[in-house]
């Protein structure tokens, strides 16, 4: 059991948590304000801190910074009822053990905290990592990385954890989910934030042009090369290079990229003189890289170099109420550009937005809202103003209320897709896909309540928790 310091200015919440945690065998000391927290920790034998973020005086983020300055490396679980993207990222960047959004029901908060407390005790006190002084993350890089859903909170926490290191990061996500925004957020919260951030899409160019873009060339290296040209690695020196859709990189360039990562040197085309570079590499792909490796289309040694850390960016269909939040954001931004007052989303429009499968993810939602703004002639976006891609809609089976016949047709489509590939273990692959999507949708529908998910699916709660961890859903 744990010795816990609970810091929260909400007396009712504090008393509720204290009673419930002490009934579980923990010892809980309470503070209403955070200012005296560091001294209390220094003079006591505590295993972890439960910390509110929004308090009079010192905030939770300020408290984390104070602990870091004093070298107190105790696990801290930050709790907030006012979730923002930057709060989650800052909290993890400052060494928070975890970050929890306070649910409406207090009993649900206890249920979320208990496994985190157990995990903190198992891992022990983490070694403190000191960060250089840095300004707050730049607003432009983080402005449209929006969402308060549980899957996105996990993304924010991952960004905060990896930003302070120079480890390479591979971002997995479907097309249109915002992988470059995640890369920019990592850069903006790192010690390299005032150095260049350089991005390159590996599918936008053929092999020769991509080679030239990455590594540059010397004068006379090929026909038309009349002057020296620096590559993206040189332009990113000291900062961050982001390679989008790296899974589509041609094999010869994969070998050259591997050599750069191993030696931190680049060779311009037409030169034998290596140039030292200091670049943090972030990459992204929508591909199933393990399948590409088995098919001989992607180098396994390069994958392990790129995937020092992996972050999975959830598709929009798994993000619940984030759809409304993002839709309203795109409406406001579009209306500001057009110099008009943004229309509101009519309640009748929320259902089709929530039920649509969004195969193009956030990028597609942005386009739908842009068209809706043009179509709208009143003060509200009505269902008739929403124009979805009919072809994409027919190709996805994520809508709510489909018939059993349509559901079976969707499953048959997945089986046909698997049979048409050269992947081994098709049955296991399909079973994993079905299990993951079933859990993801159930969690979204039941607002992350694991007990209700277990009851609805007819599974033991322990089984649900294990499967959530297996598929990286929490």
320-395 to CATH, choices 1.10.150.120, 3.30.1360.70, 1.10.8.60, 3.40.50.150: 1.10.8.60
What is the value of pTM for the model shown?
Answer: 0.61
Instruction: Domain 139-312: give its CATH architecture.
Output: 3-Layer(aba) Sandwich (3.40)
Residue-wise pLDDT tens digits, 370-423: 889 888 878 899 988 898 865 444 334 343 344 455 566 667 767 777 777 666
Per the CB < 8 A criterion, the answer to whether 38 and 72 are in contact is yes
Question: In whole angstroms, how large is the CA radius of gyration of the chain?
Answer: 25
For residue 137, the model assigns a pLDDT of 36
Range with the poorest average pLDDT among 74-88, 224-238, 316-330, 389-403: 389-403
- The CATH T-level fold of domain 404-470 is Arc Repressor Mutant, subunit A (1.10.10)
For residue 282, the model assigns a pLDDT of 96
Instruction: Domain 3-123: give its CATH architecture.
Output: 3-Layer(aba) Sandwich (3.40)
- The total number of residues shown for the chain amounts to 474
Residue ranges covered by each domain of the chain? 3-123, 139-312, 320-395, 404-470
Mean pLDDT of all residues belonging to the chain: 82
Alpha helices in 396-460 (DSSP H): 404-419, 426-445, 450-457
- How far is the C-alpha of 192 from the C-alpha of 417, rounded, in Å? 42
For residue 324, the model assigns a pLDDT of 93
Q: Give the mean model confidence (pLDDT) for residues 157-182.
A: 91
Give me 468's structure tokens. Answer: 């959530």
413: which DSSP letter?
H
* Residue 444's pLDDT band (cuts 50, 70, 90): low
Helix (H) or strand (E) holding 266: strand 265-266
Helix (H) or strand (E) holding 172: strand 169-172
Report whether pLDDT(135) > 60.
no
Q: Do 404-470 and 3-123 have the same topology in CATH?
A: no
Residue-wise pLDDT tens digits, 189-205: 898 988 889 999 888 77
């Amino acid at each position: 059991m744990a010795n816990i310091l609970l810091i929260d200015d909400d007396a009712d919440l504090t008393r509720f948590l204290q009673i419930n945690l002490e009934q579980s065998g923990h010892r809980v000391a309470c503070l209403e304000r955070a200012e005296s927290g560091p001294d209390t920790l220094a003079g006591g034998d505590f295993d972890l801190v439960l910390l509110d973020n929004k308090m009079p005086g010192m905030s939770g983020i300020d408290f984390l910074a104070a602990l870091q300055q004093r070298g107190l490396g105790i696990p801290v679980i930050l709790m907030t009822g006012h979730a923002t993207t930057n709060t989650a990222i800052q909290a993890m960047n400052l060494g928070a053990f975890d970050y929890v959004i306070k649910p409406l029901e207090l009993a649900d908060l206890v249920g979320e905290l208990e496994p985190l407390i157990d995990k903190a005790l198992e891992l022990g006190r983490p070694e403190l990592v000191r960060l250089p002084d840095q300004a707050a993350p730049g607003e432009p890089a983080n402005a449209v990385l929006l969402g308060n859903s549980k899957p996105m909170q996990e993304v924010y926490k991952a960004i905060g954890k990896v930003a302070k290191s120079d480890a390479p990061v591979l971002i997995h996500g479907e097309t249109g989910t915002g992988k470059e925004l995640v890369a920019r957020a990592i850069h903006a919260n790192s010690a390299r934030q005032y150095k260049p951030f350089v991005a390159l899409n590996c599918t936008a160019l053929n092999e020769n042009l991509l080679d030239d873009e990455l590594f540059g060339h010397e004068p006379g290296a090929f026909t038309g090369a009349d002057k020296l040209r620096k590559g993206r690695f040189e332009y990113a020196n000291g900062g961050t290079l982001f390679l989008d859709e790296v899974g589509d990189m041609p094999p010869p360039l994969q070998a050259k990229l591997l050599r750069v990562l191993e030696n931190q040197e680049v060779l311009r085309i037409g030169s034998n003189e290596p140039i030292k570079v200091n670049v943090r590499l972030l990459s992204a792909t929508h591909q199933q890289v393990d399948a590409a490796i088995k098919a001989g289309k992607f180098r396994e040694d390069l994958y392990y170099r790129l995937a020092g850390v992996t972050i999975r960016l959830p598709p929009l269909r798994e993000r619940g109420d984030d759809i409304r939040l993002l839709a309203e954001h795109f409406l406001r931004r579009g209306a500001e550009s057009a110099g008009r007052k943004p229309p509101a989303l009519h309640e009748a429009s929320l259902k089709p937005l929530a039920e649509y499968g969004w195969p193009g993810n956030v990028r597609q939602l942005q386009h739908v809202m842009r068209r809706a703004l043009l179509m709208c002639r009143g003060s509200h976006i009505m269902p008739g103003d929403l124009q979805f891609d009919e072809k994409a809609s027919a190709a996805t089976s994520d809508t709510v209320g489909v018939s059993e016949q349509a559901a079976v047709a969707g499953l048959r489509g997945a089986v046909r897709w698997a049979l048409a590939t050269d992947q081994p273990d098709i049955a296991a692959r399909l079973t994993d896909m079905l299990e993951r999507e079933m859990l993801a949708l159930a969690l979204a529908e039941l607002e992350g309540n694991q007990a209700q998910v277990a009851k609805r699916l007819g599974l033991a709660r322990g089984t649900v928790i294990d499967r959530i961890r297996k598929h990286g859903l929490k």
